[in-house]
Amino acid sequence: MVSAEEDMSAADAPTIVELSADDVLRARTEAVAKAGIGRKAEHLLEVRGLSTHFFTPDGVVQAVDDVSFDVGYGETLGLVGESGCGKSVTALSIARLVPDPPGKIVKGSILFDGIDVLKLSPDDMRKLRGKEIGFIFQDPLTSLNPTLTIGYQIGEAIRQHMGLSEKATEERTIELLSKVGIPRAKERLKDYPFQFSGGMRQRVMIAIALSCDPKLILADEPTTALDVTIQAQILELIQTLSSEFGTAVLMITHDLGIAAGMCDRVNVMYAGRIVETGTVDELFEEPRMPYSWGLLDSLPRIDDVRGDRLRTIEGLPPVLIRPADACRFNPRCRYARDVCREKEPELTRRGGTDHMARCWATEPEGWIA
Amino acid sequence: MATDTLRGGVAKPQPSASLWRDAFSRLRKNKLAMLGLIMVGFVTFIAVFGSILAPYNYQDQDLTAVVANKGQPLPPLTGGHILGTDQIGRDLLSRLMDGARISMSVAIVVQIVVICIGVPIGAMAGWFGGRTDNVLMRFTDVMYAFPDLLFIILLTVVFKQTPFGQAMDGLLLVFVAIGLTTWVTVGRLVRGQMLALKETEFVEAAKAIGVSDRKIVTKHLLPNGIGPIIVAITLGIPAAILAEATLAYIGIGVQAPRASWGSLINDGQAVIRSSPWLTFFPAVCIAVALISFTFVGDGLRDALDPKLKGKQ
């Protein structure tokens, strides 16, 4: 009896190969090298001075303000920060999906594989979406159309962009479904979303995002709506598949643990601006911005004393209507001095590397060494 | 044992119940709706095969019987006429069966007009929003504010002499005119559905994989909003039948010797004291048809309600 149960659960379990950290690293390095073949620019994605504003009755909300960053071919870049600091709007801007009105990209340029995304016609943009840029949304429960079969929804992008025959589309759909670890893929094509669990639906979303072999996947908090065990599986799946296909990932999350585990580099965003950027090691070992300290400090630790309150960053992010020329974090910063309230710091280098931070206190002449 | 139960649960694949099958199984459990459906089926059957099944031709006059009855209409169950005759000896049952054909074609033609106008206008207004929405909805408001009966009368008068006005004995014109006044409700409903649905995440997800606008509207939005639309159209049928009856009653539309249920009531009313059956039976027909369609519409509304999904 017992063995039967084991057999069955093994057959039914998602087919994810367990990889050691070294394996993943090696695979990633290879994948990054492979992904660079035929590259048209130095970086897959070059965002320069991006400003996305929302024109509301209360005033202009500067949701994303002068943001610049790169995503290399095959690289995984993390975008972390608390709610409402512009992470999602940044991702939506890249895919030009910001709801207009009220949103509008007012400044900046987005070069995707050498193409200026902001200059494309709506029609050309549509051809880029789904084909070159995949999107994984936060909530798999509402991101699938309840009236269409899973098979149709996965095949939709393939039909739209790849011009395959019905049969080839179906074959590819089945292949994708089994790739993302859905058992009995062929039988489940005709199922509707409500017949899938949350984790399974997120796997379907990943299959949709990967359906046309995109060069970049924008993952907007892909695991926030899922429970922790499923979270780990989904993240591993994204990691494995992006390595396999050499896909670059822009990973948006508020969970620093996820960023540490998945990303090559991390951007910390606060109030519409990038306040710190660096490799995962730099950022987690030597953060140079009080907001990053706060984020790291607010993670629960295994050696916390039971019953202690969780540590938080006091206060809320500011409303982004006509922000003053000051460090945007200063009202919540315990190290803030007059200069922080009078002038906004620039994003400047820390040490000799690409590690950069936006903070007066940690500048070489600052008051925190 | 636990293993067996578990195994049974996993090994048996769920039947792929589609949305429609699911809705239909719920509709079948609704007794009133099924009764309505049977009645609608019956009326449709009569409408299609009425001319074969009718005991007499609807315009044949049994004058000898009327003369024998001192020029009075024959009451029901006399002289081989189950429901009696009118003043000039025409069999009432046969005329009612012919009237069923008119009522059913009203039901179909009017709703086709409503779908062809209301759905595209509502969908465009809701999807594009902004100025398009404003223009289309103000146009809808104007149509809504215009007195229906006056509009229909005007249309029938203006187009009466055209080939279109003569089609189907002039009935097509009346049906289309009714449709032109009743699409407004469906148009507004579709717009509301579009507005609510276009903000959903699956639409954003569809945009994110580069699905074209037209496909998003037809494949993603309309199927999700179709439940209320179907209900509105089903419930619009009795309104259309009633509108036709009203028009026939005031003498617009169906031309003698043909008669719709409404014009039969009109004819019978003159002799309602002496021969009440001439008014009574057409009225019963109208009432039964209206209530049947209403039952079906209500049943569909319950069956297609997404909140009840998966429940009995």
- pLDDT digits 0-9 by tens, A167-203: 888 888 998 888 888 888 888 888 888 888 888 888 8
Residue whose C-alpha is closest to residue A102's, from A57, A162, A158: A57
pLDDT at residue B62 in the model: 83
Contact check, Cβ <8 Å, A143/B16: no
For A299-303, A323-327, B239-243, which range has the lowest pLDDT when averaged over its residues?
A299-303
Predicted model pTM: 0.73
A157 vs B: CB within 8 A:
yes
Would the CB atoms of B10 and A8 count as touching at under 8 Å?
yes
Q: Is A196 on the interface with B (CB under 8 A)?
A: no
Query: According to the model, what pLDDT value does residue A97 have?
Result: 87
Please give the pLDDT value at position A131.
Answer: 86
The pLDDT assigned to B7 comes to 43
A326, with CB counted inside 10 A (0-12, 13-18, 19+), is: middle
**For residues B93 and A255, which has the higher predicted lDDT (pLDDT)?**
B93
Q: How far is B190 from chain A (nearest CA, A)?
A: 17
Q: Which residues of chain A neighbour B224 with C-beta distances below 8 Å?
A: 145-147
pLDDT of residue B137: 93
Residue B132 forms contact with A (CB below 8 Å): no
| Dist. CA A293–CA A276, nearest whole Å | 11
Q: What pLDDT sits at residue A4?
A: 44
End-to-end Cα separation, chain B, in angstroms: 29
Mean pLDDT in residue range B243-249: 85
pLDDT above 90 coverage of chain A, percent: 2
Rounded CA separation A269/A289 (Å) = 11
Mean pLDDT of chain A: 82
DSSP lists the bridge partners of residue A357 as A276, A348
- What average pLDDT does chain B have? 84
Q: Residue B307 above 60 pLDDT?
A: no
Q: In whole angstroms, give the CA distance from residue A55 to residue B111.
A: 42
Taking 70 as the threshold, does the pLDDT of residue A9 lie above it?
Answer: no
Which secondary structure element, helix H or strand E, spans residue A135, and what is its range?
strand A133-136
DSSP label of A195: G
Interchain CB contact of B21 with A (< 8 Å):
no
Residues of B in contact with A211 (CB under 8 A): 209
For B52-108, write each residue's pLDDT tens digit: 888 888 888 888 888 888 878 888 888 788 888 888 888 899 999 998 988 888 888
- Whether B211 has its CB under 8 Å from any CB of chain A: the answer is yes
Of B7, B13, B210, the CB nearest to A130: B210
Distance CA B266, CA B282 (A): 10
CA distance B226 to chain A (A): 10
pLDDT over 50 at A8, yes or no = no
* Whether B15 contacts chain A with CB within 8 A: no
For residue A125, give the chain B residue with the closest CA.
B210
Average pLDDT over residues B269-273: 87
Interface test with A, best of B7, B132, B203, B209 (most A CBs within 10 A): B209
Q: Does B209 touch chain A (CB under 8 A)?
A: yes
User: Tokens 């809705």 sit at which residue?
Assistant: B23
- pLDDT confidence of residue A29: 63
Question: Per residue in A179-188, pLDDT tens?
Answer: 888 888 888 8
pLDDT of residue B281: 93
With 90 as the cut, is the pLDDT of residue A348 above it? no
By percentage, how much of chain A surpasses pLDDT 70?
89
Pick from B190, B192, B164, B161: nearest CA to B177: B164
Q: Tens digits of per-residue pLDDT, B282-299? A: 999 999 998 999 899 888
Mean pLDDT throughout A125-151?
86
pLDDT above 70: residue B257:
yes
| Per-residue pLDDT tens over the stretch A224-249 | 777 888 888 888 888 888 888 888 99
The residue of chain B nearest to residue A128, with distances taken between CA atoms, is B210
Please state the three-class secondary structure of chain B as a single string: CHHHHHHHHHHCCCCCCCHHHHHHHHHHCCHHHHHHHHHHHHHHHHHHHHHHHCCCCCCCECHHHHHHCCCCCCCCCECCECCCECCCCEEHHHHHHHHHHHHHHHHHHHHHHHHHHHHHHHHHHHHHCHHHHHHHHHHHHHHHHCCHHHHHHHHHHHCCCCHHHHHHHHHHHHHHHHHHHHHHHHHHHHHHHHHHHCCCHHHHHHHHCCCCHHHHHHHHHHHHHHHHHHHHHHHHHHHHHHHHHHHHHCCCCCCCCCCCHHHHHHHHHCCCCCCCHHHHHHHHHHHHHHHHHHHHHHHHHHHHCHHHCCCC
Partner A contacted by B3 (CB < 8 A): yes
pLDDT at B34: 93
pLDDT of residue B18: 63
Res. A265: pLDDT tops 70: yes
Measure CB to CB from residue B210 to each of A4, A146, A161 and give the nearest one.
A161
3-state secondary structure of A118: helix
Q: Is the Cβ pair B3, A187 closer than 8 Å?
A: no
Q: What is the pLDDT of residue A33?
A: 59
Q: Does A191 touch chain B (CB under 8 A)?
A: yes
- Across the beta sheet with A59-71, the strand order is A59-71, A45-56, A103-112, A115-116
Going from the C-alpha of B11 to that of each of A8, A189, A200, A204, the distances in angstroms are 9, 17, 18, 22
| CB of A305 less than 8 A from some CB of B | no
Task: Give the one of B16, B208, B215 whose C-beta lies nearest to A191's C-beta.
Answer: B16
Cα separation, B177 vs A60, whole angstroms: 49
pLDDT tens digits, one per residue of A332-341: 888 888 888 8
Which residues fall within 8 angstroms of residue A239, CB to CB, at 6 or more apart? Answer: A24, A76, A262
CA–CA min distance B243, chain A (Å): 35
Nearest to A98 by CA among A250, A220, A208: A220
Neighbours of A37 (CB within 10 A): 8
Token pair 């940690």 in the structure block, residue? A362
Q: Is the pLDDT of residue B13 over 50?
A: no
pLDDT for residue B207 is more than 50: yes
Residue B41, pLDDT > 90, answer yes
A185 contact residues in B (CB cutoff 8 A)? none
What pLDDT does residue B9 have? 41
Instruction: State yes or no: ipTM above 0.90.
Output: no
Residue A307 pLDDT greater than 80, yes or no: no
Contacts with A131 from chain B: Cβ below 8 Å: 210
Q: What is the pLDDT of residue A256?
A: 84
Q: Supply the pLDDT for residue A6.
A: 44
Record: contact B208-A127, CB cut-off 8 A: no
Residue B35, pLDDT > 90, answer yes
Spell out the residues 6+ positions from residue A353 whose beta carbon is closer than 8 angstroms to its own. A278, A279, A282
Residues of A in contact with B306 (CB under 8 A): 146
Does the distance separating the beta carbons of A187 and B209 come in below 8 Å?
A: no
Looking at residue B14, its pLDDT comes to 44
**pLDDT at position A120 over 70:** yes
User: Which positions in chain A touch B208 (Cβ < 8 Å)?
Assistant: 95, 97, 129-130, 134-135, 137
d(CA A152, CA A191): 10
Q: What is the pLDDT of residue A305?
A: 76
Q: Do A146 and B224 touch (CB under 8 A)?
A: yes
